[in-house]
Chains A and B, each alone.
Chain A
Amino acid sequence: MDWQRIWPPLLGGLMIGAASASLLALTAKTAGISGILEGILTREKGELGWKAAFVLGLLAGGVGLAFLLPENLAREALRPLPMMIVAGLLVGFGTRLGGGCTSGHGVCGIGRLSLRSILGTVTFIAAGALTVVVARLVEGS
């Protein structure tokens, strides 16, 4: 294994875990980002404050990264604009129908050894992998 390639994802993962675990221990809340975004969109009663604060933190982090680590914030998209819009719709709709995304199911759910989240995570990784294969066949590269 190539340590040079592994340590940034591992460090980043530990930070994400620390952020999610801190939110749990401090506020009893789950750091599931799709659910947090939906709560803001629908002005969820009693939950709006902390959800908005969390997303403000994410945005502030994004601005900070733009200065400190701009090479890690990709500007170039993988696909043309119409396809990016389709992808966004699928991600938004699918995460809410499935009740979670990479953070809610993949980290917090698996971190609780929730069968629901383990199956959800296996499903979205498998669907993503299949999509990558199909896209390559269609695009013929």
Chain B
Amino acid sequence: MRKNIAAFFCGLLFAAGLGVSGMTLPTRVVGFLDFFGGWDYSLMFVMGGAIAVYLPVWYAMKCRKSVLAGNLPCSARKDTDARLFIGASIFGIGWGLAGICPGPGIVLLGRPSVETAAFVAAMLAGMLVHRALPRKQIAAATG
């Protein structure tokens, strides 16, 4: 129970950060992705700021016991495969079209429009489509 309460407040802070940062403004996101137009570099500081906090906590805590639940992992994944590159490319195309990634999509439901709600519904459907594909077939197709 304490773990779930902690997760709730982490989600709340995460949403507040997304809202303050401008990640919930698709025009800003597309401006950041527009390297060959009038590039808006400012959203670089969202990822930069987040990593600056996360990285030292990871290195201080990895392999140790978390406060409320189990142990942290001891290492990060190093492996790469075709699935990573194909999936990230497909995600990037959708992100570039709508200017919305999964976190901001959920947060935008706090002040929804038909278009953003449809985007989120389709995003969840896309996850289920991936889930429904036979694992073996994906493995065969992507090496």
> Which residue numbers of A lie inside 8 Å of B, CB to CB?
2, 5-6, 8-29, 31, 33-34, 37-38, 41-42, 49-66, 69-70, 72-81, 83-99, 101-103, 105-117, 119-121, 123-133, 135-136
Contact = CB atoms under 8 A, between A and B. Distances in A.
22 contacts: A9-B42, A11-B21, A13-B17, A16-B46, A17-B53, A22-B9, A24-B66, A61-B12, A64-B12, A72-B25, A74-B116, A84-B119, A86-B122, A88-B126, A89-B94, A92-B94, A92-B130, A101-B102, A109-B76, A110-B51, A120-B87, A125-B92
A128 B94 CA distance: 7
Is chain B's binding surface mostly helix, strand, loop or mixed? helix
Interface in B22-39: 22-27, 30, 33-37
Contact of B91 (A42, A77, A98): A98
A53 B116 CA distance: 22
Of B58, B78, B127, B142, the most chain A CB neighbours within 10 A belong to B127
A128 B34 CA distance: 9
B68 interface: yes
Given A54-B7, A124-B95, A135-B96, A129 B33 contact: yes
Contacts of A91: 91, 94-95, 98, 100-102, 105, 119, 123, 126
Given A31-B14, A57-B9, A128-B92, 10 more contacts: A6-B45, A11-B49, A22-B13, A57-B8, A72-B24, A88-B123, A91-B95, A103-B103, A112-B62, A127-B93
B45 A13 contact: yes
Given A74-B26, A87-B98, A51 B103 contact: no
B143 interface: no
Interface of B: 3-27, 30, 33-37, 40, 42-55, 57-58, 61-62, 66-73, 76-80, 83-103, 105-116, 118-131, 138, 142
B34 A57 contact: no
Nearest to B89: A127
A60 B4 contact: no
B19 A87 contact: no
Contacts of A119: 80, 84-85, 88
